Amino acid sequence: MTDSGHPLARRTVLGAIGLGGLGAAAAAAMPAQAATAVASEGGEIWSSEYWTKKGDIPLWIFRKRIGAPKAGEPARPVVFFVHGSSVTSRVFDLNVPGKGEYSVMNEFARYGFDVWTMDHENYGKSGRTAGNADIASGAEDLKVAVELIARETGQQKVHFVGESSGALRAGAFAMLAPDRVDRLVFAAFTYKGQGSPTLTKRAEQLAYYRSHNMRKRDREMIRSIATRDKPGTSDPAAIEVLADVEMQFGDQIPTGTYLDMTANLPVVHPEKVLAPVLLVRGEYDGIATVADLEEFYNKLPNGDRQFIILPGTAHSVALAINRQLFWHVTRAFLTMPTPIAT
């Protein structure tokens, strides 16, 4: 394991590839355009909503950055936040009055990133189907999202930050399309799930997940996300705001990721994840043991990898009182200098 390293300077530069919406032959003939993440000295956060389709299913996508896009400006690295099983992408863009910044999208926009997220099939504003929105379905959602991002930004590779089953979705996509993935951050991830108290408890409902595509997700269930491992690691005020914004979408949520996590693990195979990976685990997270994550970490083929445990934090790192620790290690990893070949 490695720690998070030294604090970053005020301005941090990230090299990335930005080839625009070019065809393969044209792209090969063009020099790479450097994308830089430069911490903002100010400026308004601009946002926009987008719609795309996976077949006939409409998918809602959301974007934030400092300032509206302008023709000819330097490319910015894209970071995509992937939500988990029981919440929508609102978890990454909360406004909690009097409690400081809770929007990780705002924070990373200020760091100089072009920040994106989406509601997966059967979540939030995206289309409803008869399916259970499992991990494989989520990877297909990301596939069409990345195509839209390429058209809008010119960026052919994207950083992914997934939390809980969002990390599994991101990992599944990375196996499908390694050429579209830059760096990966897996927060609250699980590999095989062995020894997990949360998954052991969840497996008691396995027959229900097999026979139903939706499950109840009420306000009490949302509150339990922050209390089931270690009460006090998240501010109740933030959880109430999350519940308020989530309940506008009703009290039903898909079962697919729960089924995958209780019956089908592993769904992400480390040998097939070629990108650099940061594993982030809360000290008190009940979804995966340290041993489970160490096994995954040790099998990753890319030597550019880190495993960090955040103190005073449980499963939900995005909503933790110590969420700034998550921001710090994620930013540091996404802005790692390109290694000199040896």
pLDDT confidence of residue 41: 63
CB contact at 8 A, 228 and 200: no
pLDDT of residue 40: 67
Cα(246)–Cα(236) distance, integer angstroms: 15
pLDDT in tens, 153-185: 999 999 999 999 999 999 999 999 999 999 999
Amino acid at position 243, single letter: A
Give the up-direction half-sphere exposure of residue 287: CA atoms within 13 A in the CB hemisphere. 26
Q: Residue 35: which pLDDT band, with cuts at 50, 70 and 90? A: low
Q: 339 falls in which pLDDT band (50, 70, 90)?
A: confident
How open is the CA angle 300-226-104, to the nearest 5 degrees? 65
49-334 — its CATH code? 3.40.50.1820
Read off the pLDDT of each residue in 267-291 and give the average, rounded to a whole number. Answer: 98
Is 0.85 topped by the overall pTM?
Answer: yes
Percent of the chain with pLDDT over 90: 85
Residue 340, pLDDT score? 84
pLDDT attached to residue 36: 64
Mean pLDDT to the nearest integer, 100-125:
98
| pLDDT above 90: residue 338 | no
Mean pLDDT value across residues 109-123: 98
What is the C-alpha to C-alpha distance for residues 137 and 71, in angstroms, rounded to an integer? 34
Residues with Cβ within 8 Å of 335's Cβ and at least 6 positions away in sequence, in order, are: 8, 12, 13, 14, 37
Q: Would you list the domain boundaries of the chain?
A: 49-334
Q: What is the mean pLDDT of residues 96-108?
A: 98
Residue 42 is predicted with a pLDDT of 75
CB burial of 154-186 (b: ≥16 within 10 Å; e: otherwise) equals bbbbbbbbbbbbbbbbbbbbbbeeeebbbbbbb
